Amino acid sequence: MLNNITIGQYFPGDSLLHRMDPRAKIIATTIFVIAIFLAKTPAAYGVVAAFTIGTMLVSRLPLHLMWSAIKPLWVIIAFTMGIHIFTTPGDSFFDYEFIHISEQGIAMGLQMAARLVFLILFSSLLTYTTSPIRLTDGIEHLLNPLRRFGVPAHELAMMMTIALRFIPTLLDETDRIMKAQSARGADFVTGSIIQRAKNMVPLLVPLFISAFRRADELAIAMEARCYRGGVNRTRMKELAITKYDYIGVLAVLIVTAVLAFMWWQA
């Protein structure tokens, strides 16, 4: 069910990855996500897989959390792989009437699926090991240089973090509404696509109403606490870069350099 989806959730821990500065984790995640697209050969994907699995082990998170991050997006992964398998020209692997599957299409489909899986896994580690408050502070610090150009760094960081934080809340609300509607006779799993789309209306209307109500309550709560954005804001725990942050970013840069070399040699 929807309550098994863990996108946007934070899981407390005391691992090295949990203790890293959020700015270092954001920078390292961004670099590695870009580096994933440099992988072309099986050896390069082996390097990506080894580094991703190693980072997962360092985080000390349960393995089922990683599966929970991928499971909701399996349709997108399968669709992306299918598009490349059936549309990429090349040496014939299977032909039947208008269906043409090439060896290059299978290879490209598997590569794109692997990229999506590694991208999801590594990006999920950022939210799994970073609390919303520290994530907001990290994004705000990284956006601070743009303030001189009129970019509202604090407001952007706050909006991004609130949106990420409310994903699990909306999923829980959706699950409760689905159970309530099913108890009243609603059917969300059988029938044609059009019929199931029509059956979603009793779900979407209360969900939107609940989302708007939560947003209004949050705005009232922030206003009641005299929230004024990032002006003269103080923090109980200031962010500080440690040697472990440098080691983490350096490890990502080394892996990126290896992947860039392998890409250039391919």
The per-residue pLDDT for range 155-184, each reduced to its tens digit, is: 787 787 787 777 777 878 888 888 888 787
Give the chain's mean pLDDT. Answer: 83
Mean pLDDT, range 232-246, rounded to an integer = 79
- Residues 104-132: what's their mean pLDDT? 88
Q: What is the pTM of this model?
A: 0.76
Higher pLDDT, residue 17 or 9: 17
> What domain range includes position 93?
2-265
Count of domains observed in the chain: 1
Cβ(65)–Cβ(9) below 8 Å: no
Write out pLDDT tens, residues 197-230: 777 777 888 888 888 888 888 889 888 887 776 6
Please say whether the beta carbons of 48 and 121 come within 8 A. Answer: no
Q: Work out the pLDDT band at 1, boundaries 50, 70, 90.
A: very low
Distance CA 195, CA 205 (A): 17
Which residues, in sequence order, are bridge partners of residue 102? 92
Average pLDDT on 34-52 reads 92
**What is the reported pLDDT for 74?**
82
Q: Which of 182, 167, 174, 176 is nearest to 204 (CA)?
A: 174
| Cβ(227)–Cβ(6) below 8 Å | no
* Residue 181: Cβ-neighbour burial (10 angstroms; 0-12, 13-18, 19+): middle
The residues, ordered by sequence, that sit 6+ positions from 229 with a Cβ below 8 Å of its Cβ are 152, 154, 155, 158
38 has a pLDDT exceeding 80: yes
> Mean per-residue pLDDT for 68-87?
82
Per-residue pLDDT band for 134 (boundaries 50, 70, 90) equals confident
The rounded percent of the chain whose pLDDT value lies above 90 is: 22
Mean pLDDT for 40-61 is: 91
**Reduced to 3 states, what is the DSSP secondary structure of residue 241?**
coil
Alpha carbon distance 224, 122 (integer Å)? 38
